[in-house]
């Protein structure tokens, strides 16, 4: 893995875009007259739900894994995300032809294990505590010499995630504002670097579940708050910031908007019904911020990163 002494920059995002181009989809930007009317703005949706593995996470994992030297790559990669990042690491390891290990708690749901296993990664189970996870991971890393691919506290991941916004900025001129969801901050910090790399005038605003408001509090107080007991259906946004992502966010992000789950569910459903695309709850949070009037977008040109589309069709939030 590339270890940067210097903080991650726009130039890293540009490099990432070239590196992942042979593997990642250049996802479409779509617009919707219904949503524009509802928002009173011109909205441009960057559809990472159409990305490989169904989420932007493919970009960061791709950049991380294809950044490895040959000798690093041969020893494999390890991660401990059971969600979209785990699937993204597994697929990119397969694309590069190297081993991947995903450490997952014993109580993780079968469908997530199956998704990771389908991409050919080895799953190692551990007790459902952070301590157990870290101990198991450290042991495997020491034994194998594999590289840990953290899901957001990682410069190459951040640079990779920023490529979605870079494509958006290249395709849609003169955006006033770009919205992205925030969890651990990998997508948000990459987005921030990309947006301000292209346009110093565009504002970057994040949306966060009210029940997992650590980033909001962190930005307000100028120091990282941990995420103790997140309560939100947006399961991609339950993690806390790291110093690495927080540094970028403090510099570039204007504001973090809090969104109740009810508004997120309504927005998710509205996008399915009107735009006929499947987005996951985490992706609906910025849409909800707009539709619920948490931000004044009237007459603006607004980019929205739709982060992913992986949902359990047997358990939709509006039929719970």
For binding to a copy of itself (CB under 8 A), which residues are involved?
28, 49-50, 54, 269, 272-273, 275-279, 309, 313-314, 316, 318-319
Q: Which is nearer to a copy of itself, 107 or 318 (CB)?
A: 318
- Output the smallest distance, CB 31 to a copy of itself, in A: 10
Closest CB to a copy of itself among residues 76, 236: 236
Report the distance separating Cα 128 and Cα 111, nearest Å.
Answer: 17
- Give the residue ranges of DSSP H helices in 82-126: 84-96, 110-118
3-state secondary structure 143-168: HHCCEECCCCCCHHHHHHHHHHHHHH
Q: How far is the CB of 33 from a copy of itself (least distance, A)?
A: 8
Q: Which is nearer to a copy of itself, 49 or 191 (CB)?
A: 49
Question: Using an 8 Å Cβ cutoff, are 286 and 181 in contact?
Answer: yes
Q: How far is the CB of 50 from a copy of itself (least distance, A)?
A: 6
- Please say which residue, 96 or 225, places its beta carbon nearer to a copy of itself: 96
Q: Where do we find the tokens 């339950």?
A: 238
Burial annotation 47-61 (CB, 10 A radius, 16+ → b, else e):
bbbbbbbbbbbbbbb
List the one residue out of 158, 160, 164 whose CA is nearest residue 28: 164
Closest approach of Cβ 231 to a copy of itself, in Å?
24
Residue with Cβ nearer a copy of itself (93 or 204)? 93
Instruction: Tally the residues of the chain.
Output: 320
CB of 120 to a copy of itself, least distance (A): 15
**Closer CB to a copy of itself, 132 or 172, in the complex:** 172
Closest distance between a copy of itself and the C-beta of residue 137, in Å? 30
**CA-CA distance, 156 to 226, in Å (whole number)?**
23
Closest distance to a copy of itself from the beta carbon of 174 (Å)? 23
From the list 49, 39, 26, the residue with the least C-alpha distance to 281 is: 49
Which residues share a beta bridge with 257?
207
Nearer CB in complex with a copy of itself: 202/279 = 279
- DSSP labels for 165-216? HHHHHHHS---SEEEEE-SSSHHHHHHHHHHHHH-SS-EEEEEEEGGG-HHH
Q: Closer to a copy of itself at the Cβ: 229 or 273?
A: 273
The 8-class DSSP code of residue 76 comes to -
Minimum distance of a copy of itself from residue 38's CB (angstroms):
13
Least Cα distance to 3 among 184, 166, 153 occurs for 153
Q: In what order do the strands lie in the sheet with 122-126?
A: 122-126, 100-105, 77-79, 147-148
Shortest spacing between CB 92 and a copy of itself, in angstroms: 15
Would you give the end-to-end CA distance of the chain in angstroms?
A: 43
Q: Which is nearer to a copy of itself, 29 or 300 (CB)?
A: 29
């Amino acid at each position: 893995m590339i270890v940067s002494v210097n903080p991650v920059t726009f130039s890293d995002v540009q490099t990432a875009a070239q590196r992942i181009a042979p593997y990642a989809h250049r996802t479409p930007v779509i617009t919707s007259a219904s949503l524009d009317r509802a928002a009173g703005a011109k909205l441009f949706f960057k559809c990472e739900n159409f990305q490989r593995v169904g989420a932007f996470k493919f970009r960061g994992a791709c950049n991380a894994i294809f950044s490895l030297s040959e000798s690093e790559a041969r020893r494999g990669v390890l991660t401990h995300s059971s969600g979209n990042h785990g699937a993204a690491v597994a697929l990119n390891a397969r694309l590069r032809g190297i081993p991947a290990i995903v450490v997952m708690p014993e109580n993780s749901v079968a469908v997530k294990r199956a998704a990771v296993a389908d991409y050919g990664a080895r799953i190692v189970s551990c007790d459902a505590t952070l301590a157990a996870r870290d101990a198991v991971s450290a042991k495997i890393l020491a034994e194998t010499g594999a590289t840990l691919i953290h899901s957001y506290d990682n410069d190459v991941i951040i640079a990779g995630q920023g490529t979605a916004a870079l494509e958006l900025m290249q395709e849609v001129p003169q955006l006033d504002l770009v919205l992205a969801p925030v969890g651990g901050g990998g997508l948000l910090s990459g987005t921030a670097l990309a947006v301000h790399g292209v346009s110093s005038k565009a504002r970057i605003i994040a949306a966060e579940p009210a029940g997992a408001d650590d980033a909001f509090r962190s930005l307000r107080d100028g120091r990282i708050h941990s995420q103790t007991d997140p309560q939100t259906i947006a399961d991609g946004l339950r993690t806390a910031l790291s110093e690495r992502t927080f540094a970028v966010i403090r510099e570039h992000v204007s504001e973090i908007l809090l969104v109740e789950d009810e508004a997120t569910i309504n927005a998710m459903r509205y996008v399915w019904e009107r735009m006929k695309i499947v987005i996951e709850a985490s992706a609906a949070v910025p849409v909800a911020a707009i539709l619920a009037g948490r931000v004044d977008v009237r007459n603006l040109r607004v980019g929205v990163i739709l982060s992913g589309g992986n949902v359990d069709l047997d358990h939709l939030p509006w039929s719970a």
